[in-house]
Amino acid sequence: MTRRPTHPGAVFLEDVMKPLNLSVTDAARMLGVSRKALSEFVNEKASLSPEMAIRISKATNTSVESWMNMQQKLTLWNARMNEPDNVIPFPLARAKEG
Amino acid sequence: MTRRPTHPGAVFLEDVMKPLNLSVTDAARMLGVSRKALSEFVNEKASLSPEMAIRISKATNTSVESWMNMQQKLTLWNARMNEPDNVIPFPLARAKEG
DNA sequence: GACACGTGTAACGTTACGGGTTACAATATT
DNA sequence: AATATTGTAACCCGTAACGTTACACGTGTC
């Protein structure tokens, strides 16, 4: 994967909120989170927390996993930006000798 | 899923470290983390961080995703323990009217 | 022009958590 | 007996999500 994965917040905004004509204020109320929390999420300032994923899943009747997977790909992509280089490969597991 | 998913640390201990006869001390050295960090991970006191996942993946030549997925299932399972109840379902998306 | 809304965000505080270091007691291993 | 390994407590950091409050900036309405 070479291109930065889409932020789940962007997807939520484009594919859920906009089609339903939901304002950040209203959606936040319905999700049961603060307007700030949702705003930061849809503006990609915060990542998707497991709790937020559950809320979205309950509100939109979609699978939690689908949302979590989006975040995981992003998290992994970001983490790979700072790959550790001081990792020593484990000795290869071999067929038992003797 | 009704049973608590296996902690990735337990898998790492059983399926990787033990077969290779690696001590926590040695494995920690090779992974480039502190003994404490690895100990807590394999003893299920800490969850798998993305960075640790990358280290394990590099050291064992396995996919980062497989480890991350284990953690995600656990994380989700735990999160569902405290499901929020103040979520208001979004109005159903309908075929455009008018 | 005045006012209501929705919005992004700064400031501030709280809570949670991964990770490092150091140190100690308990338990192998040799 | 001497050495190695281990789990973990204590303590310090940095990061991050979330809440509340408050401000400035549109935009639309009367």
Residues A25-58: tens digit of each pLDDT: 999 999 999 999 999 999 999 999 999 999 999 9
Q: Which residue is nearest to nucleotide D9 (CA to C1')?
A: B36
CA–centroid distance for B6 within its chain: 9
pLDDT tens per residue across span B60-76: 999 999 999 999 999 99
Q: Residue A74 in contact with residue A1, Cβ under 8 Å?
A: no
Q: Residue B70 in contact with residue B35, Cβ under 8 Å?
A: no
Angle between helices A24-31 and A50-60 (to 10 degrees): 100
C-beta within 7 A of nucleic chain C, residues 46-85 of B: 46-47, 49, 51-52
